Structure 1
Amino acid sequence: MLFILRKLADGLISLSAALGALGLIFEVVIILMDVVGRSLGTPIYGSQDMTTMGMVIVVFGAMALCDRQGGHISVDLFERSYSVLVNRLIDVFSALLGAVIFLGIAYAVNESAKISTMLNLSTNLLRLPKGLFQNALSIFALLTAVGMFLRALELIVSKRDVRKGDTV
């Protein structure tokens, strides 16, 4: 069962990262075209709106992959001093804490998206609906929380850290 959940989570994380990569490509193209346009005296109208909303996709789209590959900041000053069990407990706790934090982010941003949708809030120039991007951020944060929770579960049940390829 855990293997099936891991495969499903990995597929969703890959999809999230692919969307983040597409967002990054979009960001680079818009910024490049805007810089060239500015030098020619015709900047892209609304480029700031597009880059601001695109950053939501870039940052939060890649967040689950960052956790999956162990890319979040960790301080391991005392790791060698602790036993394997204590280190594993710290890893489980940090994964669960991260999941709770990202669940909180997902909830708060989802509530904000409801307000943005109700008030029909949009970006300044292009009138892009803010609620749409807030909902995307909420989904990406939820996916990150699920990945972190699944990592904690794997550490507890199978003693395997997906970030390190452990099989202890």
Structure 2
Amino acid sequence: MVSTLRKWMDRLIGLSAFIGAIALFIEICVIMTDVVGRAAKAPLYGSQDLITMVMVLLVFGGMAICDRQGGHITVDILERQFPTWFNRTIDIFTALLGGVIFLFIAWAVYDSAKLSVMLNIKTNLLLLPKAWFQWALALISAFTGLAMLLRAVELAVYRRDIRINSTETDL
């Protein structure tokens, strides 16, 4: 069951990373177009709106894959001094804490999106509905939170750290 859950979670992580990659491409295109346009005295109208909204997708889109591959910053100055069981306990605790934090982010942003729909909040210049980006952020944050919780379960129950075995890039 956990292997099936891991398979589906890896697909969701891959989807999140794909969304982040598309956001990066859009971000680069918007910034390049705006910079060239400014040099030609014709900046891209609404570039601030696009850059701000897409940056959210870019940053949070990469969080799940970063956790999956063990890419988060860690301070391991004392790790060699501690016994293995203590390091594993710290890993489980941080995965649980990260999962809870990201699920709270997802919940808070989802509530904010409902408010944005109710108040019809839009971006400043392009008048894009802000709720679209908030829903995407809530979904991506939920993916990350669930992936971190699954990693905590795998660490606690199966004593397997998915980050160590994440040399494959076929997510």
TM range (shorter): over 0.9
Q: What corresponds to 2:169 in structure 1? A: none
Q: What corresponds to 2:71 in structure 1? A: 71
Give how far 1:84 is off.
0.8
Secondary structure at the residue paired with 2:120?
coil
TM-score by length of 1: 0.96
Q: What corresponds to 1:4 in structure 2? A: 4
Give how far 1:66 is off.
0.8
Secondary structure at the residue paired with 2:113?
helix
The residue type equivalent to 2:137 in the other structure is L
1:144-159 pair list within 5 angstroms = 144-159=144-159
The residue type equivalent to 1:153 in the other structure is V
The number of equivalent residue pairs is 166
**Alpha-carbon distance between aligned partners in 2 of 1:149 and 1:61, rounded to the nearest angstrom:** 17
Q: What corresponds to 1:83 in structure 2? A: 83
TM-score by length of 2: 0.95
Give how far 1:71 is off.
1.3
1:10-159 pair list within 5 angstroms = 10-159=10-159
Secondary structure at the residue paired with 1:91?
helix
Gaps of at least 5 residues in structure 1 are: none
Give how far 1:131 is off.
0.8
Give how far 1:158 is off.
1.3
The residue type equivalent to 1:140 in the other structure is I
Secondary structure at the residue paired with 2:10?
helix
1:105-128 Cα deviation digits (max 9, x unpaired): 111111111101100001000001
Q: What corresponds to 2:163 in structure 1? A: 163
**Alpha-carbon distance between aligned partners in 2 of 1:165 and 1:92, rounded to the nearest angstrom:** 16
Secondary structure at the residue paired with 1:164?
coil
1:80-136 Cα deviation digits (max 9, x unpaired): 111111111110000000011111111111111110110000100000111110111
Give how far 1:157 is off.
1.6
**Alpha-carbon distance between aligned partners in 2 of 1:24 and 1:164, rounded to the nearest angstrom:** 27
